[in-house]
Amino acid sequence: MIYLGADHRGYKLKEVIKEWLEEWEVEYRDLGNDKYDKGDDYVGFALKVAGKVVIEKGIGILLCGSGVGVSIVANKVKGVRAALCTTEKQARKSREDEDANVLCLSAYSVDEKMNKKIVKMFLNTVFSSSERHIRRIGKIKKYELERS
């Protein structure tokens, strides 16, 4: 399951991503915003998506103008490894090496064509499961447990 969320700056691209997911026959759930609202904030949407990803063991896609805001918020949620990706290679490596479970996208800095390639790459790449990457993720999980 793919969980989607975006503020007003990412709303239009989120709606386009829903069309791509339907075309690719990928199941998704839109956690908001459900309408364009210039006064909304990305924080609530990012927390909703990040929480669902952890609880349901799914994948999230978050959008805002830069992608930075949603990335910062999502990474505050224990168990989330959110990656702001602006290239296909970043998307592939974020999944292969870090087992990222939330993709963060910039609606303003990256054009729609490239964002489509990034989304497709992120969704079609699996974690490498190599020892060094498992070790690194284990260190992150240990830190999260120590901080809770």
Per-residue pLDDT, 104:
99
- CB–CB of 75/82 below 8 Å? yes
Four-CA torsion 34, 39, 41, 44, nearest 10 degrees: -50
Q: Is the per-residue pLDDT at 33 higher than 90?
A: yes
Percentage above 70 pLDDT, the chain? 100
Task: Describe the strand order of the beta sheet including 59-64 as a list of residue ranges.
Answer: 28-30, 2-6, 59-64, 102-106, 82-84
Per-residue pLDDT, 148:
80
Q: Is the per-residue pLDDT at 12 higher than 90?
A: yes
The CATH number of residue 116's host domain is 3.40.1400.10
User: Domain span at residue 92?
Assistant: 2-147
Per-residue pLDDT, 17:
98
Number of folded domains that form the chain: 1
**Residue 47 identity (one-letter amino acid):** L
Q: Across residues 110-118, what is the average pLDDT? A: 98
Whole-structure pTM value: 0.98
Q: Is the per-residue pLDDT at 4 higher than 90?
A: yes
- Tens-place pLDDT, residues 39-88: 999 999 999 999 999 999 999 999 999 999 999 999 999 999 999 999 99
CA distance 61 to 16: 12
3-state secondary structure of 59: strand
Q: Kindly report the average pLDDT of the chain as a whole number.
A: 97
The count of C-alpha atoms lying within 13 angstroms of the C-alpha of 97, restricted to the half-sphere facing its C-beta, is 7
